[in-house]
Structure 1
Amino acid sequence: MTDRTLIVAGIGTEVGKTVASAVLVEALQADYWKPIQSGGLDDSDTDTVRRLISNSTSCFHPEAYRLTEPLSPHAAAEIDGVMIELDKFIAPETQNRLIIELAGGLMVPLNNHDLTIDLVRQLGVPVVLVSRNYLGSINHTLLSVEACRSRNIPLLGILFNGPTVPMSETFILNYTGLPCLGRIGQEEHMTKEAIRKYANLIRQDLKEIELSKA
């Protein structure tokens, strides 16, 4: 794993990790990998990202686990008679950048002992945290940041998805000290054109952050 790899984590489920992943894939013309797909195997998150991007550089790598039920990975795996094991996760080899999208939130169980955040720590690459404004999202965002920091997991910044609430976003950024990587607005239909629009905006933010760390 290298500094050319990013993990997309969310503060919970249904916060827009897949859309955020598509934007990052397009912005960086990166490869994409979702280690665990729970449910939706006929139209997976990999299929969605592939459908939304426009560049011809990105490659899409197969999941380590494809589970039939749209449940927490540990529950879906039990139904399928599968045991999810941390040492079975091997990131695909690529000379390109790589975007890794997690399943669910950081504290989602993979089995009876390991959480998704344990996989993040094992992979050892920076996290882009996707936050979405709703009642309780400040709490969920701060807890996600604290969970990463207590495990020495590097956080690149926060990407806000959905309707903007300036007061909430300002508090989160000031309290955590993390940079805002961009904002993905509420779209009636998320299209390739919309993904390109946000990718162009976020690409510049990412360049500025990378330069500041150089």
Structure 2
Amino acid sequence: MADKTAELRAILKLQPVVPVLVIDDLEAAVPLARALVAGGLKAIEITLRTPVALAAIRAVAERVEGAVVGAGTVLTRSDYKDCEDAGAQFVVSPGTTLELLQAARKSKVPMLPGAATASEVMSLREEGYSVMKFFPAEQAGGAAYLKSLSSPLAGTLFCPTGGITLAKAKDYLALPNVICVGGSWVAPTEMVEAGDWSGIEQLAREASALAD
């Protein structure tokens, strides 16, 4: 568990923002990932929300140099196995179940489990997790709520995701218990559909600069 936690921390520390992608067109996956990596966002989460998601993960893993591709919206044991087989280097879930915890124990791929309440965080800590996804961040209380957890649940780090924008990201990243944020704003649907890879690269550069 310690090795996988260290691996996950290293991935999440690559950048201040992890792009959260919903890919509808498989042909867009590789150029999109290349634009994000060129802009400084190497760790990329491709969510299992479309029929081409697993193929997109495999394509990015095999063809995009420098990319660290992860799988998001992982809900079941079979999802976990499919993502590992596709080449995902980390797995992200919106919440946590016993089935997912069991799958994570058996896999070499680290999991970023989702939590939204103090009780959920405490339960995950009992399972050995110290890095979690705070989801849905804005709807669950935002940066102020997460700040309130920093003292009673010291030692736990979060990647808040859900409703976060470039402006809001700064508030989260200023917190002592935030390792990075997840966001979809770096790859707007209209820019992906238009193939505006240079524009997406610029958005990625702006997000990457939040680390400065």
Common fold: TM-score over 0.5: no
More strand by share: 1
TM-score w.r.t. the length of structure 1 is 0.43
Higher relative contact order (CA 8 A, sep 6+): 1
TM-score w.r.t. the length of structure 2 is 0.43
